[in-house]
Amino acid sequence: MTERRFRVPDDLAAHGLEFIPDGLVAAVGPGRVVRFMNSRAEAVTGLAAADVVGRDIRVALPLQDRGGDSWWDISDPWEGLESRTGHRERLLVLPSGRELLVTARYVRPGRGEPVTSVVLGLRDAESRRRAEQESAALLTSVAHELRSPLTGVKGFSSTLLKNWDRFTDDQKRLMLETIEADADRVTRLITELLDTSRIGTGRLTVHAQPLTVLPRLEAQVERRVASGTERERFEVTVDPGVEVVWADPDRFEQILTNLVDNALRYGRGRVSVAVQRSTWEGPAAADLVVADEGDGIAPEHRELVFSRFWQAGAKHGTGLGLYLVRGLVEAHGGEVAVEDAPSGGAALRATFPDGD
């Protein structure tokens, strides 16, 4: 019985476990001797199987928690509680500094009996590091995006409070309008962050209704002109028959704003903002198309631009704009795609299905 119990790890490779994507290490017997280590475990630990197999796993694989304490002393698989069968994935570290995501299984011949072998599943922590890097990048971008408008709000409000009587009404109005514009930027950024979270968790909702689009397109242009963009850079058109689009008013405004932002930030020349009758394979629909006269978007990047934090080398922005556009359009039941603009730049086409 004892010999059969300890033969299990010797058979692991024969059952194809050498080819699983995760690392696998198995130790057996009261001596905690390593009897199996696959090539993936070698890769993620940086240790050779020849230097690990046949040794006490606690010595050959000295796992530590982030505080530097020995995981083997803390968990004590062989002498710990008899009811334990292992532990879920956790982040552990080797003395070399390599971070590993470790899952453990404690093998017992029967309930409450001593552990006969310990099997570890190992993965490198690259995915976690990428997630942490994305979070750090987001925090940096958000801090940068918030600092500019908040600096303006603070500066103008402090100046007004200290020198109210020294300014003319026109000067006061200009400062208050600037404060309002900067506050709107902060509100928009916070809304984008909340919507990013809702898209990621599948909780984003829209309330579509008939929406007359021409006034909204024109108001978008007026806001850009008021903020310093030349009016000649914009061309607005609405095809006959699509004067009304089924969309959530607030979400449509977000989509339009992000598409125009993208065209102004990354494109050049005239920005065309149009609503056209769609030809997509689905229910009747209208397309919101924003195009520029820049260099366009390379075919290999036309899906990547909708990824979170995609900035294509840009040094400003959160990289969330087009990610939000896709999420918001899909919440309407539509789709968004990148095309070549007639002028040679990029055209982003957002499709909104009709409500009837």
Q: How far is CA 332 from the centre of its chain?
A: 21
Read off the pLDDT of each residue in 194-217 and give the average, rounded to a whole number: 85
Kindly state the greatest CA–CA separation across the chain.
Answer: 96
pLDDT digits (tens, 9 = 90+) for 15-58: 556 677 889 999 988 889 999 899 889 999 999 999 999 999 99
Residues above pLDDT 90, as percent of the chain: 37
Closest CA to 62 of 49, 72, 74, 77: 72
Which helix H or strand E contains 27, and what residues bound it?
strand 23-28
Per-residue CA distances from 143 to 99, 189, 198, 262 (Å): 29, 11, 21, 20
pTM over 0.85: no
- Collect all residues with Cβ–Cβ distance below 8 Å to 47 and sequence separation of at least 6: 41, 60, 61
Are 195 and 328 in contact by the 8 Å Cβ rule? The answer is yes
Quote the pLDDT of residue 315: 47
Quote the pLDDT of residue 270: 92
Domain assignments of the chain as residue spans, ordered by start: 2-124, 129-201, 209-353
Quote the pLDDT of residue 81: 83
209-353 CATH fold? Heat Shock Protein 90 (3.30.565)
Specify the higher pLDDT residue, 226 or 272.
272
Helix (H, G, I), strand (E, B) or coil at 67: coil
Read off the pLDDT of each residue in 228-241 and give the average, rounded to a whole number: 93
Residue whose tokens read 């500019």: 148
CATH architecture of 2-124: 2-Layer Sandwich (3.30)
Quote the pLDDT of residue 284: 73
| In the predicted structure, residue 132 carries a pLDDT above the cut 70 | no
Quote the pLDDT of residue 60: 92
Specify the higher pLDDT residue, 148 or 219.
219
Quote the pLDDT of residue 3: 42
**Buried/exposed 148-160: b ≥16 CB within 10 Å, e otherwise:** ebeebbeebeeeb
- Average pLDDT of the chain is 84
Structure tokens belonging to residue 137 = 């990048």
pLDDT digits (tens, 9 = 90+) for 142-180: 676 677 788 888 888 999 999 998 999 999 988 998 888
| In the predicted structure, residue 109 carries a pLDDT above the cut 50 | yes
Lowest mean pLDDT among 117-126, 135-144, 311-320: 311-320
Q: pLDDT-derived band of residue 4, with 50, 70 and 90 as boundaries?
A: very low
With 0-12 CB in 10 A as exposed, 13-18 as middle and 19+ as buried, what is 259? buried
Helix (H, G, I), strand (E, B) or coil at 35: strand
| In the predicted structure, residue 1 carries a pLDDT above the cut 60 | no
pLDDT digits (tens, 9 = 90+) for 273-288: 999 998 777 677 899 9
- In 220-298, where do the E strands start and end? 234-238, 244-247, 271-277, 285-291
Indicate the CATH number for domain 129-201: 1.10.287.130
Specify the higher pLDDT residue, 138 or 230.
230
When computed from its CA atoms, the radius of gyration of the chain, rounded to whole angstroms, is 30
**Buried/exposed 113-145: b ≥16 CB within 10 Å, e otherwise:** eebbbbbbbbbbbeeeeeeeeeeeebeebbeeb
Q: pLDDT-derived band of residue 312, with 50, 70 and 90 as boundaries?
A: low
Cα angle: 267, vertex 279, 271; to 5 degrees: 20
Residue whose tokens read 């036309």: 302
pLDDT digits (tens, 9 = 90+) for 48-95: 999 999 999 999 999 998 888 899 988 888 888 888 888 888 889 898
| In the predicted structure, residue 126 carries a pLDDT above the cut 90 | no
The answer to whether domain 2-124 and domain 129-201 are alike in fold is no
**Buried/exposed 32-43: b ≥16 CB within 10 Å, e otherwise:** bbbbbbbebbbe
